[in-house]
Structure 1
Amino acid sequence: MLIILILPLLKANHPDFMNMATKAVKRAFLVALIPLLLFLSESTTGFIHKLPWFDIFLTSLDMSYKLDIFPTVFLPVALFVTWNILEYSLWYMAQDPNQQKFIKYLLIFLLTMIILVTSGNLITLFLGWEGVGIMSFLLISWYFSRNDAVVAAMQAVLYNRIGDIGFLMAFCWLISYSGSISLDFALATTAKSTTLPLVGFILAAASKSAQFGLHPWLASAMEGPTPVSALLHSSTMVVAGIYLLIRTQPLLGLNDTALTTCLCLGAISTAFAATAALTQNDIKKIVAYSTSSQLGLMMVAIGLNLPHLAMFHICTHAFFKAMLFMCSGIIIHSLNDEQDIRKMGGLQHHLPLTTTCVSIGSLALMGTPFLAGFYSKDAIIEAMNTSYVNFTALLLTLIAVSFTAVYSLRLMYFTSLKYPRHNVIINFDELSTPVFKTITRLCLGSIFAGWLILHFFLPSNDITHTMPPHIKMTALLITLLAFIIAFDLAKFHWTKEPKNKITSKQFSTNFYPIIIHRSVTTLTMNFSWNLTSHILDLLLLKALMPDLLKITQLPPMLMVRLSQSGLIKLYISALLITLFLAMIPTILL
């Protein structure tokens, strides 16, 4: 599979490179179905392949690749989504002078994610982890002539550097404790009560998967091209953190402190991101905050010690999230780069296929029965309702579920329904081959993927097969109630001009980046200034100049001063003592 994806990169300057790359990803997707079918037929547990690299004393460093249930299920999904995104990019980036370079970056981005997913030891895991980070920087800053794009890319790097510190801390701790780079061996030999490496992995996952506190970079990353947003949010970088915690589950699942941390962090993240999505008017940022909210739900599944449900939601989420971003790009292109949903409307007449896909993707996102999101999202909510968890975490998660229905309906309402609030002349044919095929395939995935994956993605531990009807229907009832409330808001309030335009600022969730960025920057600069000024004034200037002169010159001056008293007997005594001392060697010889 890797060879198939690497071959087009060897011909990066070929005139037909973009079509070659797209076909290579398509062929890799077909190849990835083979181990999936083998798993279905044989129920194999997976295998590990090692490529020797070099040895350091008794430690052998090798490139190890592991193919078990998680990469077996995830790789076909990632390759299928990426194949559609690459085809979509051929249309979306057609006017870009560096389109060929853009496709190459997307392909390398996919390669680094595959290395991360299939890693069998800490070395390959680290290579894939850093690879997705650097490629995300290059793709987010694609429009490097725009200041916002460069700032967004730097913000993504800085936030992910915080997580990299935690990753390296856990990386070094496991190697020093176990004496091996094998991830499975390191996790198996580590004491159950060990919390330090798990804290490092949780910090790494929180930054890469945009959990609360380290989330602002995800919305800022919308400055990149829409295909980058689709690939970044569906099956590559943002799910890398959750996948890391899934891989560390053998140790994470035995530590109650780490599980509680994941549960509370995920609940806070999903509730805050859902609230932030309600206040956004930029179509891409609404979808971006919905990603952060769904990542919080995946973190909740990790906190429940149900990694298979987190992986299930990653796979289903990839289809409708990529489709939502691609449809957003079509709408933005059609409206002359307009991204404010308040200036849209009535698009069901001009872009029927796109608005249909937006509606299906939004319904799948909110967990409408029998769509892809329903099977994974409701399973997490049901597991949460039937487990002994923090009530506050459960309440925040249910609030986030209700808010998901509200902002999803708001997105559909402002883009598709009512009358047009834009130039009604749209010079775009959505039935053009690349666009029509890609969003149609992803739309079918958003409908059927959950049902298909459910039949072979079996949990590795027991689940609750019976529960009271009111608990079984909790997530669906909350979603339905929120949908009704949202429809009421759409009908009576969303179309009205606010009486006091200033009060709407009181509910803005942009306070977090502003406060954190300004306060941290100010605190750091003041601390640095005080530190440098004190070192320069107190240590360097005072210690090296006046204090040093005092210490080195004052004692000899005092000695000389004692001998200059003005008494003649002291001078004669000093002369006689000096003469006597000078004559001693002569007398002895």
Structure 2
Amino acid sequence: MYLLIVVIPLVGTLITGLCGRWLGRKGSNFFSTACVVFCFFLALIAFFEVGICGAPCYLSLSPWISSGALNVSWGFMFDSLTTTMLVVITSISSLVHLYSIQYMEYDPHCPRFMSFLEIFTFFMIMLVTADNFVQMFLGWEGVGLASYLLINFWYTRLCANQAAVKALLVNRVGDFGLSLGIFTIFYLFGSVDYEVVFSSASLYSACAIYIFGIPINLLTLIGTFLLIGAVGKSAQLGLHTWLPDAMEGPTPVSALIHAATMVTAGVFLLVRCSPLIELAPNVLFLTTLLGSSTAFFASIVGVFQNDIKRVIAYSTCSQLGYMVFVCGLSYYNVGMFHLVNHAFFKALLFLSAGSVIHALSNEQDMRRMGSLITSLPITYSAMLIGSLSLAGFPFLTGFYSKDLIIEITQISYYSNIYTTFGIFACWFANISVFFTAFYTFRVLFLTFIKNSNSYREPLNSIHEPSTLILIPLIFLAGASIFVGFVTKDLFVGVGSNFWGNAISILPASCNFLEVEFMGVLTKWLPFILSSFGALSAYAISIGSFKNHVDFAYNHWFRKLAFTLNKKLYWDKLYNAFVVSPLMQFGYNISFKNIDRGFVELIGPYGTSKTINEWSSKIIKIQTGQITHYTLFIIFGLCTLLFLLPFWAFLNALIDIRLIAFCFFALFSAWPSKAFLT
């Protein structure tokens, strides 16, 4: 049963991709969706057996790589962490497959799209079920490749081409860091198996390597490399620029990438490698710094975006920052809890946005929307539930995990151990709560509540999409209401041992019990900030027109809004300080000096050019007069007689057979004009 969870998506991918023309659109849709839904039910059974009953499963299939000290086998590990991820991946993927049947109905390449969705799911399952770093890296790279194929699905669009290449190249930076981390793990532990590495990590906590005479702790180095990999895949500050541009793909792709698969792979890596990262306090501090900075940056930039999918994309980036910095505070179970909750309400938001875009004939600018509450009541209800859950409205799914993260930052703020960590995370997390509520309700007000800016006739023709689009919205709306309440005590309850050995936390970092003794005002702080954010969004979006004009046309605000609308010019900075210098360096070094320099000199072009130049000079010697030839022969004999006493010395330097061959070739070709021309 466990192996079927991995194999079925691969089989579905091959059959749908290779036999799509024979199966047809309906056959491909049914077969691919059925495969993923079947995997979801198997994942539920595995979750019950492993997570609830506490019976992890380990499968070792066959040797894969055997080279010297490196021995890697095909193996799969099903513990509580793996099965939790499997339920999230397969559930979201099943609903996205079902949603895509109607959304991509008129696309001529629908079988190819379904095949790409399934291979995406397969590689993500491979990533989370691997029992060693090499096999995990295979799934890691496969997810990146599948994301390129999906973002670039509409390959005739230039924007989609650019976004796919950008996602691939930016993620290569993180992939390079992860590969260096795997190399360093093998150098230190002599193995890449999780069981060997994690069980012996504490024995190597004092090992160091000297770089330019400076001692560097090896576990800190490994943790830094792993963090670089997580930063690239989970779009943290610095390597985040690919995530908003990934919206150029179809909306189901956005939901799959942002909710359950690619972007959560980095957080999963941090949680899986917690036995290593816990022993590197500097890495924990850097993780907290990056996560909290990302949460703040993405939330404030999302306020000034006008594309509905880009706003939700920046909210994903912000929520990933929450997950990362809470891992930096050593609360990996809370990070996983928020990952699970976020997957459902973020998929709901993306698919609801896709329903709006589908109804408006691919219009994505919120400024051209409005008054859709009467035309799309079910979509509005779904998006309202997702927005409230994202903002942390009480008793919805997002409330249980997001508010818990804010409370943990308060604990870290007042703790003597985590003062430096907590101050930074606490301030940025609370500010991000306000801006998150602001852009969340701004999307609702501009899209559904505010008076429409379009013509009356197209507005009257808008209607709810078909059942196949509404069914995933209803299921995800239910999950966005109940999942947090149902799983809270299981995942983060006091005394819960659900995660077992899948997560490792040092005893000094266990301050979780203090959350239960916090003041009432501190617990209400996130709700108060969210309420202020929602009221601010209402006042600016659909409040008094005069206030809106005064606010929008204020001189300083316009400059700030323009800067944040351009994402603080991150793309421009990359182009100016990274892309352009590297391109100039490549042109001057690689192209001018190597490709058109050294390589052309010794290559076919340079060889033929040199022969032609020497031939044009030697041809002048061939005058056709016998006296000149006699003179050359006498000169050659005199030269040989002069070199005869030194023959033994020359023979030691140059093989006589080479000299004889050269003389024979020269004199045999000498009478021919073609040799010289």
TM-score class normalised by the smaller sequence:
0.7 to 0.9
Change (3 A) 1:167 1:40: closer
The structural deviation recorded for 1:205 is 0.5
Secondary structure of the residue that 1:279 maps to in structure 2?
coil
The answer to whether the aligner puts 1:82 opposite 2:139 as a matched pair is no
- Structure 2 residue aligned with 1:178: 189
State the one-letter code of the partner of 1:49: L
- Please say if residues 334 and 426 of structure 1, whose CA atoms lie closer than 8 Å, have aligned partners that are also in contact: no
1:155 to 166, 177, 181: 166
Is the CA contact 2:334–2:491 (under 8 Å) kept in the aligned structure 1?
A: no
Instruction: Give 1:243 deviation, angstroms.
Output: 0.5
Q: Which whole-Å CA distance do the structure 2 matches of 1:47 and 1:108 have between them?
A: 24
Corresponding residue of 2:482: 448
Distance 1:110 1:427, change over 3 A: farther
Report the secondary structure of 2:15's partner residue: coil
Change (3 A) 1:147 1:186: same
How is 1:114-513 mapped onto 2 (pairs within 5 angstroms)?
A: 114-190=125-201, 191-192=204-205, 193=217, 194-387=219-412, 388=418, 389-424=421-456, 425=459, 427=461, 429-430=463-464, 432-458=466-492, 462=510, 463=512, 464=514, 465-490=516-541, 491-492=543-544, 496=549, 498-499=552-553, 503=559, 504-510=561-567, 511-513=569-571
- TM-score relative to the length of structure 1: 0.87
SS for the counterpart of 1:237 is coil
2:524 aligned partner, one-letter code: M
Residue type of the partner of 1:5? P
- The amino acid across from 1:24 in the alignment is C
Check whether the contact 2:51–2:80 (CA below 8 A) recurs between aligned residues: no
Query: Counterpart amino acid of 2:478?
Result: L
Q: Secondary structure at the match of 2:481?
A: helix
353-362 or 8-17: bigger deviation: 8-17
In the alignment, which residue of structure 2 is the partner of 1:4?
8
- Counterpart residue identity of residue 258, structure 2: H
The code of the aligned residue for 1:492 comes to S
2:171 is matched by which residue type in structure 1?
N
Secondary structure at the counterpart of residue 105 of structure 2: coil
Q: CA deviation at 1:267?
A: 0.6
Q: CA deviation at 1:535?
A: 6.1
Output the CA distance in 2 between the equivalents of 1:237 and 1:353: 29
CA distance 1:506–1:235, shift in 2 (3 Å): closer
Matched residue type, 2:6 = L
Partners of 1:102 and 1:441 in 2: how far apart?
A: 23
Task: Report the residue type matching 1:221 in the other structure.
Answer: A
Residue identity opposite 2:403 in structure 1: D
Aligned twin of 2:82: 71
Matched AA of 2:252: P
1:274–1:290 contact (8 Å) kept in structure 2: yes
Q: Deviations over 1:314-366 (max 9, x none)?
A: 11111111111111111112112111101111100000010111111111001
Q: Is the 8 A contact 1:346 1:417 kept in 2?
A: yes
Which residue identity is paired with 1:19? F
Going from structure 1 to structure 2, the CA distance change for 1:475 and 1:522 (only over 3 Å counts) comes to: same
Q: CA deviation at 1:401?
A: 1.1
Tell me the number of residue pairs that the alignment of Structure 1 and Structure 2 aligns.
Answer: 542
**Could you list the runs of 5+ residues in structure 2 that have no partner in the other structure?**
206-216, 413-417, 498-504, 603-641, 647-677
Query: Partners of 2:47 and 2:593 in 1: how far apart?
Result: 63
Structure 1 residue 176: deviation in Å? 2.1
Instruction: Out of 310-319 and 11-20, give the one that drifted further.
Output: 11-20
- Which one-letter code corresponds to 1:499 in the other structure? Y
Unaligned runs of 5+ in 1: 545-577, 583-589
Q: What SS does structure 1 have at the residue aligned with 2:380?
A: helix
Show CA shifts across 1:100-131 (max 9, x none): 11001101100100111111111210111001
- The 10-residue stretch of structure 1 (491-500 or 126-135) with the greater mean CA deviation from structure 2: 491-500
- TM-score where L is the length of structure 2: 0.76
1:211 alignment partner, SS class? coil
Cα distance change on mapping 1:205 and 1:263 into 2, 3 Å: same
| Greater mean alpha carbon deviation, residues 472-481 or residues 322-331 | 472-481
> Taking structure 1 as reference, are residues 532 and 434 closer, same or farther at Cα in structure 2, changes over 3 Å only?
closer
- 2:386 and 2:477 in contact (8 A); partners too: yes
Are the aligned partners of 2:410 and 2:422 in contact in 1 as well (CA < 8 Å)? Answer: no
Counterpart Cα distance in 2 of 1:280 and 1:525: 31
2: distance between equivalents of 1:437 and 1:533? 55
Q: Is the contact between residue 116 and residue 146 of structure 2 (CA under 8 Å) also seen in structure 1?
A: yes
Q: Which moved more, 1:430-439 or 1:494-503?
A: 494-503
Q: CA deviation at 1:528?
A: 4.0
Show CA shifts across 1:245-298 (max 9, x none): 111101101211000000000011010000110010000000000000000010
Distance 1:532 1:79 in 2: 46
CA RMSD in angstroms comes to: 2.4
> Residue 485 of structure 2 aligns to which amino acid in structure 1?
W
The 2-side partners of 1:385 and 1:513 are apart by 34
Letter in 1 for 2:572: I
Q: Secondary structure at the match of 1:348?
A: coil
Match status 1:50 vs 2:60: yes
Distance 1:418 1:393 in 2: 35
Distance in 1 of aligned mates of 2:575 and 2:301: 17
Identity within the alignment, %? 34
| Counterpart residue identity of residue 449, structure 1 | V
Query: After alignment, is 283-292 or 18-27 more displaced?
Result: 18-27
Q: Any idea what SS the aligned residue of 2:490 has?
A: coil
Q: After superposition, what is the alpha-carbon deviation per residue over 1:158-197, rounded to whole angstroms, capped at 9, x for unaligned?
A: 1000011101101111112211120232233342242111
Q: What is the CA-CA distance between 1:137 and the residue it aligns to? A: 0.4
Deviation at 1:495, TM superposition (A): 5.3
Amino acid at match of 2:438: V
What secondary structure sits across from 2:76 in the alignment? Answer: strand
Partner of 2:263: helix, strand, or coil?
Answer: helix
In the alignment, what sits opposite 1:517? 575
Q: What SS does the aligned partner of 1:349 have?
A: coil
Partners of 1:519 and 1:295 lie apart in 2 by: 27
Give CA deviations for 1:451-510 in whole Å, capped at 9, x if unaligned: 112132246565222112222222222222222333332313685484369644244343
Contact 2:59 2:76 in 1 (8 A): yes
* CA distance 1:390–1:135, shift in 2 (3 Å): same
Moved more, 68-77 or 158-167: 68-77
* Alpha-carbon displacement from aligned partner over 1:538-570 (angstroms, at most 9, x marks no partner): x98xxx9xxxxxxxxxxxxxxxxxxxxxxxxxx
Q: CA separation in 1, counterparts of 2:580 and 2:234? A: 27
Task: State the SS of the aligned residue for 1:31.
Answer: helix
Instruction: Find the aligned partners of 1:298 and 1:337 in 2 and give their Cα distance.
Output: 32
Q: Which amino acid aligns with 2:407?
A: E
Between the aligned partners of 1:211 and 1:412, the Cα distance in structure 2 is 26
Is this contact kept in 2: 1:52–1:61, CA < 8 A?
Answer: no
Give per-residue Cα distances to partners, 1:365-415, cap 9 Å, x unaligned.
011111111111111111111123341332111111110000001001001
